[in-house]
Amino acid sequence: MLVAVTGASGLIGTALTRRLQAEGHQVLRLTRSRPTAADQVQWDPAAGQLDPEALAKADAVVHLAAKHIGDQLRWTARTKRQILQTRVEGTALVARTMAELAGGSGGPRVLVCASGAHYYGDRGDELLTEASSGGRGFLADVVQRWEAAADPARSAGLRVVHLRTGPVQDATGAGLPKQALMFRLGIGGRFGSGRQWLSWVALDDITGAYLHALTNDDLAGPVNAVAPNPVTNAEFTTTLARVLRRPAVLHVPAFAPKLVLGEFADEMLFASMRIRPSRLLETGYRFRFPDLEPALRHTLGRPGRS
């Protein structure tokens, strides 16, 4: 299978590309830079430029490219506009191009598109599945518009999957290294009450979920790409401290990060999402890391005591 991948140089894209190739698939990388290899094709989502002839060669598309929501810790109006536009514009361009190719009975037949667990918003202790309604808030609105941008491909009869991803736990990622450093310095601790739920996923399992979605015809629509055992912030704190063999005695009161980070803190640190990956489990996906501690030990290189 030839899979076209946007965002192939990011955390998930790099790992997924490596895994696809290891399993015998070919990868066509869509890049905004000038191509430097035969497996690269240039595109410009902001300008609406994507060569349909290049995309027509692919059997499927994985669309990952978007501005990382943690690039700036205090969101300005400009940052929020970029977060929304990079998701909606890129997805709409890919979906339209695929729909046009499908109209001529050609091109890729499957679109697996990145999405976010923040679709559900802050929901407390409610157990959320793909059947749950969308929530409220900036990121919930972004994700709902992000998924809707793929409607042209859906309307053309193509199989479209939205992987609603939680925070990816990996030592080379954006969040975990910073958290681990705080604990190593002895300043790690829970945020606020610590009762807010975190629906996390290991990097190995998010790449596995993408491969599963590409090859499983029973999957379409929203798919929760999170581990089956979410944890509270307090549980995450205790587990990470145990893995690193460091104390976790500090408590960061909610008002402090909210004062400094504003809306970012509300949505990224204190929103509670207790999510179950029902569709992945129902279609036979087997998680390599269903539980947090083995996932952290694996990526941080901290095996348990024998």
- In this structure, the strands spanning 168-169 and 201-202 are parallel
User: Average pLDDT over the chain, rounded to whole?
Assistant: 94
pTM score, whole prediction: 0.95
Asked if pLDDT for residue 261 goes beyond 50, the answer is yes
Residue 260 has pLDDT above 90, yes or no: no
181 versus 121: which is more confidently predicted? 121
Determine what percent of the chain is predicted with pLDDT higher than 90: 79
Distance CA 117, CA 129 (A): 10
Sign of CA dihedral 129, 133, 136, 140: positive
E strand segments, 211-273: 221-225, 231-232, 250-252
Which domains can be identified in the chain, with CATH numbers?
2-299 (3.40.50.720)
pLDDT at 153 over 50: yes
pLDDT at position 118: 97
* Residues 165-203 pLDDT 10s: 999 999 998 889 988 988 888 888 888 999 999 999 999
d(CA 188, CA 43): 42
| pLDDT band, very low/low/confident/very high, at 305 (cuts 50, 70, 90) | low
Task: Tell me the CA distances in angstroms from 121 to 45, 80, 135, one per residue in order.
Answer: 27, 16, 4
CA distance 256 to 232: 20
Alpha-carbon Rg for the chain, nearest whole angstrom, is 19
Q: Using CB atoms within 10 A of its CB, is residue 176 exposed (0-12), middle (13-18) or buried (19+)?
A: buried
Question: What pLDDT was estimated at residue 264?
Answer: 87
